């Protein structure tokens, strides 16, 4: 399975909500998408320029009092189509990028509900399996492992339970 960078899908997804300039894209990522915080300004602006050259976004200059003008970007119909294709590929498991499991649900308002539900079910199944494996590992180890290794197993169990709770909430939200 091919692996992809998330920058393109994040920018196109965010521009579905409203037009933004590069700094606003970065600020939104930092506030709303904690698992994808590692993106830098260079990546954002480079991707915006590529998307504009491809006709996926359209930039226009916006004057701001004493500051230099900034470029605000809007997604185009071509960009919406590109975004849909990227989301479909990822939801179907044809390609993956690090953090997809946390990133993709941010944009489920813009994809087919059936595909979103199938993806959430797949994630839920994976976490349930991991939880069972960790519980079996803990039972198997008993008191034969150090307290810190035992603590790591418990960390995994707690994280899996948290992810399952998050997925249940997403399922509930998707049903509204």
- Give the model confidence (pLDDT) of 20-34 as tens digits: 999 999 888 888 876
Q: Are residues 123 and 160 in the same domain?
A: yes
- Give the model confidence (pLDDT) of 114-127 as tens digits: 888 888 888 899 99
The count of structural domains within the chain is 2
Q: How confident is the model at residue 35 (pLDDT cuts 50, 70, 90)?
A: low
Burial grade of 172 (CB within 10 A; 0-12, 13-18, 19 or more): exposed
Average pLDDT, the chain: 85
The CATH number covering residue 10 comes to 1.10.10.10
Q: Are residues 14 and 75 in the same domain?
A: yes
pLDDT number for residue 40: 80
- Give the model confidence (pLDDT) of 151-172 as tens digits: 888 999 999 999 899 888 888 8
Q: How confident is the model at residue 75 (pLDDT cuts 50, 70, 90)?
A: very high
Q: Are residues 31 and 71 in the same domain?
A: yes
pLDDT number for residue 1: 43
Q: Are residues 37 and 105 in the same domain?
A: yes
Q: Are residues 49 and 69 in the same domain?
A: yes
Q: What percent of the chain has pLDDT over 70?
A: 88
Give the pair of three-digit tokens for residue 134: 């960790």
Range of the structural domain that residue 43 is part of: 2-109
Q: How confident is the model at residue 59 (pLDDT cuts 50, 70, 90)?
A: very high
């Amino acid at each position: 399975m091919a692996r992809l960078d998330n920058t393109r899908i994040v920018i196109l997804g965010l521009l579905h909500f409203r037009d933004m300039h590069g700094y606003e894209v970065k600020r939104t990522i930092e506030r709303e998408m904690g698992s994808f915080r590692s993106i830098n300004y260079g990546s954002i602006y480079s991707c915006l320029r590529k998307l504009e050259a491809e006709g996926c976004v359209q930039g226009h200059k916006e004057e701001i009092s004493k500051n230099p003008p900034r470029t605000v970007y809007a997604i185009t119909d071509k960009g919406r189509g590109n975004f849909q294709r990227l989301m479909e590929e990822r939801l179907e498991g044809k390609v993956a990028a690090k953090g997809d499991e946390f990133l993709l649900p941010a944009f489920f308002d813009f994809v087919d509900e059936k595909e979103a539900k199938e993806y959430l079910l797949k994630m839920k199944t994976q976490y349930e399996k991991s939880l069972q494996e960790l519980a079996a590992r803990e039972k198997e180890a008993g008191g034969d492992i150090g307290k810190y290794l035992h603590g790591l197993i418990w960390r995994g169990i707690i994280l899996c339970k948290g992810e399952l709770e998050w997925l249940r909430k997403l399922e509930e939200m998707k049903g509204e």
